[in-house]
Amino acid sequence: MTNTVPWKPNALADLRECLDLMTADGTVPGGVIAHGTFDSEPGYLASGVVAPECGDVRPGPDTVYDVASLTKVLATWPLVGTSLMDGFTLDTPLRELLTGVPAEAPASQVTVRQVLAHTSGLRADTRLDQYRNRPEPLAELICGEPLIADPGAGHRYINRGFILLGLALAHYRCRRLDELATELWQDLGMTSTTYGPVPRSAQVAPTEQRLTGGPRLWGMPHDDNAALLGGVAGHAGVFTTPADLATFATHLLSSHAIDGPMGRWLACSMQRQAEIEPGLDRGLAWILADEGRVAYHHGFTGTSLYLAPTTGRYLAICTNAVYHHQDNRTRLAPLRTLALKAITDEP
């Protein structure tokens, strides 16, 4: 049984100060940080406004954010974990879980594990728009593209693999991906988590203005390729709230503490699969830090989720950073650096 470890004094105060500064300087319109341990009620740090379009409405636990690539760990990754209990295997080639993929296709032998570990060797750019008006199934088109590396040879972050994995899950389970995910989220009590699009309101954070003078993306997936797939994809398209992220984190960490099914899947996923850079490794979907004791993932729109099973702590960051800028990797770095330091530090 894991004993939860309290936060280091000032860690949360530093995060609040950083979020306030980023709101003040226009990096983000506003945002929410959920924090806690699996055996305590979540706490929230909030700053700024949802967006100028929403007036003076402040973000909070129930504000809905497009979480972009957090879809990978909120939908696709747990659905793989639950499917493993029903004959799905990590080392099965995706071709065996799909239809219409020839045995001679370049990606025919790419496995579930290699997709989750981002070692698939699939083409790095997603660009589903290139397939418009093509009659072949999407899986066949993706698998038919030349590989950029041998499967398993090394790490490179690739969305295409998760798109394929979403298709494979739907085919294997004989249900649409959004139906499978919704059932999972409802079982966990994540009542505000859904694939988009979602109705516009002051409780939904808008993202980017693609055309000068045009409307912002508001309730529509920011990811172009997810949008082309109707908002439902294995790599992006999910909308959720800070409160639901806290619920998700609490379930994973509490299950880990008692060696429950999803806890065992989390532990399996925190085994090193490939090096990203010195000090950071890729597990199954998750990035691993602090010598494998912390798992985290980012979303391009300005979101992050951090888990520390050894201490029972979690952090979730929700912002709509792409509202002002697309170069959020650099602009959000101070907040994300503080979040990783906060969750790894001992009191």
CB atoms within 10 A of CB 331: 18
User: Is 2 a member of any domain?
Assistant: no
Model confidence at 2, in pLDDT bands (50, 70, 90)? low
User: Is 1 a member of any domain?
Assistant: no
Residue type, 342: A
- Predicted pLDDT of residue 104: 94
Report how far apart, in Å, the C-alpha atoms of 13 and of each of 44, 143, 157, 342 are: 12, 48, 33, 10
Model confidence at 260, in pLDDT bands (50, 70, 90)? very high
Indicate whether 183 and 309 sit together in one domain.
yes
Model confidence at 160, in pLDDT bands (50, 70, 90)? very high
User: Is 314 a member of any domain?
Assistant: yes
Domain tally for the chain?
2
Mean pLDDT across 222-251:
97
Domain range holding 235? 11-74+179-344
- Predicted pLDDT of residue 345: 84
- Of 177, 198, 231, which one is at a domain's C-terminal end? 177
User: Is 3 a member of any domain?
Assistant: no
Indicate whether 126 and 258 sit together in one domain.
no
To the nearest whole percent, how much of the chain has pLDDT over 90? 90
If you search the block for the tokens 């997810």, which residue do you land on?
A: 226
Model confidence at 214, in pLDDT bands (50, 70, 90)? confident
Indicate whether 264 and 303 sit together in one domain.
yes
Q: And the tokens for 312?
A: 């029972």
Sign of the CA dihedral 95, 263, 118, 32? positive
Indicate whether 230 and 201 sit together in one domain.
yes
User: Is 112 a member of any domain?
Assistant: yes
User: Is 5 a member of any domain?
Assistant: no
What does the alpha-carbon distance between residue 262 and residue 255 come to, in Å, rounded to a whole number?
6
Model confidence at 1, in pLDDT bands (50, 70, 90)? low
If you search the block for the tokens 């072949």, which residue do you land on?
A: 136
Give the ranges where 129-241 is alpha helix by DSSP (H). Answer: 138-143, 159-173, 177-188, 224-228
Residue 125 has pLDDT above 70, yes or no: yes
- Of 177, 208, 239, which one is at a domain's C-terminal end? 177
Indicate whether 83 and 167 sit together in one domain.
yes
Mean pLDDT across 241-250:
98
Mean pLDDT across 132-147:
95
Indicate whether 160 and 113 sit together in one domain.
yes
**Residues in contact with 10: Cβ distance below 8 Å, sequence separation at least 6, in sequence order:** none
Query: What are the start-end ranges of the E strands in the chain?
Result: 30-37, 43-48, 65-66, 194-195, 238-240, 274-277, 280-282, 287-289, 294-299, 303-308, 313-319
